[in-house]
């Protein structure tokens, strides 16, 4: 029995890892914004600097969207040596470092997704004979608790990364996480933080619903047949 309990714990941990890492990874897909979605508010507020004489020229809406898309594409690339500075709007070192940190978070979430799938397969195969699937719900509930705790931290934090995320999500302020020394902040759509946050929350809730459905199905299969 100890062996089965052990694999139940492994299975529950794998479910937590899969839901949370999927939520983080999928939320980064929110950076993909089409030209049509890119708000007209960006027009005229973003400038390109001529390095020769230091003069600034206001970017058109399309040019601003193109510069933003180049930076966003860097978050989707694989590898450690991603160049976020391919566009005409040059980024300072601090913002480049912050972007690389965000990419690292996304990459780690992707690796955790892969690992959690392996653990899920191992766990399911181990408990399959006894149909001890209640641990799936444990994992789903635990992932939901983690999601709620992160919301509480967002609400009460007055400094640090959670404070920065809160300002991005609810106020559209990016100057807490990024530096205003270059034009990066003016390129980012105001609703990007909220967009990514809603995706993250949606995946967490979807994970909980799916785990409950799995548990209900497994519970019904364990009930005796009525003749």
Residue-level pLDDT at 186 = 82
Angle among Cα 219, 201, 137 to the nearest 5 degrees reads 20
Contact between 58 and 47 (Cβ < 8 Å) = yes
Cβ within 8 Å of residue 177, ≥6 positions away: 98, 161, 164, 165, 167, 168
Residue-level pLDDT at 82 = 72
Residue-level pLDDT at 207 = 80
Residue-level pLDDT at 227 = 45
Residue-level pLDDT at 48 = 53
Q: How many residues does the chain have?
A: 227
Residue-level pLDDT at 41 = 52
Place of tokens 């199905």: 217
Residue-level pLDDT at 40 = 46
Contact between 214 and 139 (Cβ < 8 Å) = no
Cβ within 8 Å of residue 111, ≥6 positions away: none
Q: What global pTM score does this model have?
A: 0.78
Contact between 94 and 177 (Cβ < 8 Å) = no
Cβ within 8 Å of residue 149, ≥6 positions away: none
Residue 68, SS3 per DSSP: helix
C-alpha 91/C-alpha 105 separation (Å) is: 20
Instruction: Give me the tens of pLDDT residue by residue for the chain, a chain 227 residues long.
Output: 556 567 677 777 888 888 888 888 998 888 888 877 776 455 445 555 555 555 566 777 788 888 888 888 888 777 667 777 777 778 888 888 888 888 888 889 899 989 988 888 887 777 666 665 566 666 667 777 777 787 787 777 777 777 777 888 877 788 888 887 778 888 888 788 888 889 988 888 888 787 778 777 766 665 655 54
Contact between 7 and 125 (Cβ < 8 Å) = no
Select from 182, 177, 180 the least CA-distant residue to 166. 177
């Amino acid at each position: 029995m100890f062996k089965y309990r052990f694999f139940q714990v492994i299975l529950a941990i794998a479910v937590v890892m899969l839901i949370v890492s999927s939520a983080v990874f999928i939320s980064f897909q929110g950076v993909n914004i089409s030209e049509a979605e890119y708000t007209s508010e960006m027009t005229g507020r973003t400038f390109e600097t001529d390095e020769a004489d230091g003069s600034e020229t206001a970017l058109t809406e399309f040019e601003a969207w193109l510069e933003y898309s180049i930076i966003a594409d860097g978050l989707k690339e694989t590898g450690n040596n991603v160049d976020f500075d391919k566009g005409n709007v040059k980024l300072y070192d601090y913002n480049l470092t912050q972007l690389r940190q965000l990419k690292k978070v996304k990459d780690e979430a992707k690796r955790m997704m892969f690992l959690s799938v392996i653990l899920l397969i191992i766990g399911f195969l181990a408990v399959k004979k006894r149909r001890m699937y209640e641990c799936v719900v444990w994992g789903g509930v635990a992932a939901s608790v983690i999601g709620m705790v992160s919301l509480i931290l967002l609400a009460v934090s007055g400094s640090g990364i959670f404070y920065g995320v809160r300002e991005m999500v609810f106020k559209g302020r990016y100057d807490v996480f990024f530096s205003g020394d270059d034009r990066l902040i003016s390129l980012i759509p105001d609703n990007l933080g909220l967009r990514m946050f809603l995706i993250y929350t949606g995946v967490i809730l979807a994970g909980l619903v799916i785990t409950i459905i799995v548990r209900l199905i497994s519970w019904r299969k364990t009930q005796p047949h009525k003749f």
